[in-house]
Amino acid sequence: MIAEIGLAMLWMAAALALLQLFAGALALRPGGTALIPVVRPLAMMQGLLVAAAFASLITLFLTTDLSVKLVAENSHSLKPFIFKLAGTWGNHEGSMLMWVTIMGLGGGFVALVERRLREDTLIATLAGQAFVSLGFYAFLLLASNPFARLPEPAPEGQGLNPLLQDVGLAFHPPTLYVGYVGLSIAFSFAIGALVTRDVGPAFARAMRPWVLGAWIFLTLGITAGSYWAYYTLGWGGWWFWDPVENASLMPWLAATALLHSASVLAARNALRAWTVMLGVVAFSMSMIGTFLVRSGILTSVHAFAVDPTRGSFILSLLAIYIGGALALFALRASTVTEGARFAPVSREAALVFNNVMLCGILGIVLVGTLYPLLTEAFGQKVSVGPPYFNPVAAIFVLPMIVVMFVGPLLRWREDKAARVTAPVAIPAVVAAFVLFVLVLAEPQMKLLPTLGLGAAAGLAVASVIPLFGRNLRRTPLPTYGMVVAHFGIAVALAGIASDSAFSTEKLAAVNVGDSQQVGPWTIALTGIEPIAGQNWTALQANLSASYAGGAPVALQPQARSFSSPPGQRTESALKTRWNGQLYTVLGEEAEDGRWQLRLWWKPFVPLIWLGGALVALGGALSLLGRVIRDVTRLRAESKIAWRRERQGR
């Protein structure tokens, strides 16, 4: 019964989305003002209904209703609670229902709280959001029904992919999806502003919190996903430019450019056309990522769908949404005025330069991701990986970081380079000193890690210079957010460069009692024992690891076996110190009775994820500051209106 209720809720939500689209479109026509009050309630009710449908699916997974096809294929009665919950979205249909749910709730929240836009622009925005939602409702109801029943209940569930049976799955997809859907709302804002010819500061101020929120969640999702792959897959890497990794990176790059562009438009009424175009591009990247993961053209732990029909459906949606948006932009581009001009030396110019660099990185990632797929379609398999991405991306990243030294110090509209020469000299000297020391101390170090460490040191210093001379107690939260985010980029860059420059790896076959050396660590295999968990069995290696002759610590990497469904998973064991991380993996037993061990010493690698967390924290501080400012402004306006009303009486 719960499945039927959930499906009915989904159909009703789709019907309300259709009504929302038509009501919004008719309300914008002459004589249609009577429909304006209808659009907001429709958006809010649609969000509640699709949320109820998703809650029904969660209930089916938690109760392990094996008469539902999706539950039988992706869960098991003996699975731990957290994996039953994560199994709801650890599959194609469930993840798409989560996507639509977040989209519906997001649109409903816009309808509930947005008061800054012109009324017609808001109605057009909500109609645009309904149009986007309708495509995904059709996709779920016609091609990916999550509530489909089996003719007969299955005796037992098949279980979740062992690689996905990790607590990281409970957090990684939801955070990414909130980011993707936030960009869909930014897309709807852009469409609404184009329809009503209302591209200006008010539009940017309304859109900016959604872009910022999406960017925060994308940052968290990518960071968490990177660490999940790092410790779960057992290959010792945190990023490999996999197409599915790139599918999440591309929207983040576009969102970063959009965030800065919207800030310029909101504060200085410049970059109007650029902001609208980036709003379209950012959501386009989300759709391309969705197509890659769910079309069946990729084989990956992330790629849930292998049905080409579904891929064709998503490709059609991509063509309709993005093609339509670009056509609308072409028709209305002449109505988007230039906005305020600015000098070549100004904060706007620095932001534009870095936006161009971000778009350059986006372009090379997009080409590197799609090129192998295109060549494979013509019968030629090629591989595009780090040898392409790392140096080509560095061409754009390094100039962008140099501009980040000076950009926050420049004034709006126009400035003089001489005014910021002295403060910029400090991080420049620090970067030069670090480069000099590295060249002397590590002459064999490759060029990119060397430049990365120098740039990271300079950016770390440059990021805090905007606080010099300020009253720190009165400094706005968005300024602290910028400082923390830029500092986080420096920290992450230092971790990336250190991992590339200083990591050491050892693959060894050892008997019990043997020792191996990796970096400053001495690791001894003291035993192998079988153990069992709630839904798995494993062979566990007992390791004794000593850093530079110090006290030993115990590490216990495992090779786990799952029965439902059958599969294996490596469970690495990590030891984190202030200066790096020891990474150990248990391999297979050789014919002569020795055990394979893979050992890495990775100096300062945790800085990668610490930096990502700091970047997200900076975004959160900025968002909190803007929300507080908006609430304060609305309260002040309400008080003024109340006083005027009393005086009028």
Distance between CA atoms of residues 263 and 275, nearest Å:
9
Burial 374-401 (b: 16+ CB within 10 A, else e): eeeeeeeeeebeeeebeebbbebbbebb
Q: Does the pLDDT value for residue 634 go beyond 80?
A: no
User: Cβ distance 458 to 430 under 8 Å?
Assistant: yes
CA distance linking residue 581 with residue 411, whole number of Å: 42
* Strands, E assignment, 390-547: 504-510, 515-518, 521-532, 536-547
Return the percentage of the chain with pLDDT > 90, whole number.
Answer: 63
Predicted confidence (pLDDT) per residue in 539-560, tens digit = 999 999 999 989 999 999 999 9
* Tokens of residue 68, six digits: 């539902």
pLDDT band at 307 (very low <50, low <70, confident <90, very high): low
Q: What CA–CA distance (Å, rounded) separates 271 from 548?
A: 56
Phi/psi region, residue 597 (left: phi>0; alpha: psi -120 to 50; beta: rest), is beta
Q: Tell me the pLDDT band of 214, cut-offs 50, 70 and 90.
A: very high
Q: Are 279 and 207 in contact (CB under 8 A)?
A: yes
Is 415 exposed, middle or buried, given 0-12, 13-18 or 19+ CB atoms closer than 10 A? Answer: buried
Cis geometry, peptide bond prior to residue 565 (ω within 30 degrees of 0): yes
Burial of 341 (0-12, 13-18, 19+ CB in 10 A): exposed
Predicted confidence at residue 186, as pLDDT, reads 93
Q: Which pLDDT score is estimated for 213?
A: 95
Q: Could you tell me the residue ranges of all domains in the chain? A: 1-170, 198-409, 416-497+605-649, 504-603
Mean pLDDT of 513-530: 95
Sheet-wide strand order for 580-589? 504-510, 595-603, 580-589, 573-577
Task: Assign 295 a pLDDT band (cuts: 50, 70, 90).
Answer: low
Determine the pLDDT at residue 37. Answer: 93
pLDDT tops 70 at residue 649: no
For residues 389 and 365, is the Cβ–Cβ distance under 8 A?
Answer: yes
Q: What is the pLDDT of residue 234?
A: 83
Residue 51 CA to residue 568 CA, distance in Å, equals: 35
d(CA 72, CA 64) in angstroms, rounded, equals 8
CB 526 within 8 A of CB 512: yes
Measured CA to CA, the distance from residue 616 to residue 597 in angstroms comes to: 36
pLDDT at 308 over 70: no
Q: Are 193 and 121 in contact (CB under 8 A)?
A: yes
With tokens 């530079």, the residue in question is: 548
226-245 mean pLDDT = 87
How many CB atoms lie under 10 A from the CB of residue 443? 8
Per-residue pLDDT, 301 = 46
Q: How far apart are alpha carbons 373 and 243 in whole angstroms?
A: 10
**443-461: average pLDDT:** 96
Predicted confidence at residue 569, as pLDDT, reads 86
Contact predicate 184/281, CB 8 Å:
no
Instruction: Assign 290 a pLDDT band (cuts: 50, 70, 90).
Output: confident
pLDDT: is 639 or 51 the higher one? 51
Q: Which has the higher per-residue pLDDT, 287 or 523?
A: 523
Quote the CA–CA distance of 89 and 510 in Å, as a whole number: 41
Maximum C-alpha span of the chain: 97
Q: Which residue, 505, 495, 518, is CA-closest to 606?
A: 495
**Mean pLDDT over residues 331-350, rounded?**
84
* pLDDT tens, residue by residue, 468-503: 989 898 999 999 999 999 999 999 999 999 999 999
Which helix (DSSP H) or strand (DSSP E) does residue 413 occupy?
none
Mean pLDDT of the chain: 90
Q: In the prediction, which pLDDT does 160 show?
A: 75
Q: By 3-state DSSP, what share of the chain in percent is helix, strand and coil, each rounded to 5?
A: 65, 10, 25
Amino acid at position 59, single letter: T
Could you read off the pLDDT of 114-165 as tens digits, one per residue?
A: 888 899 999 999 999 999 999 999 999 998 899 999 999 988 888 777 777 7
Q: What is the pLDDT of residues 370-405, one digit of tens each?
A: 888 788 777 788 888 899 999 999 999 999 999 999
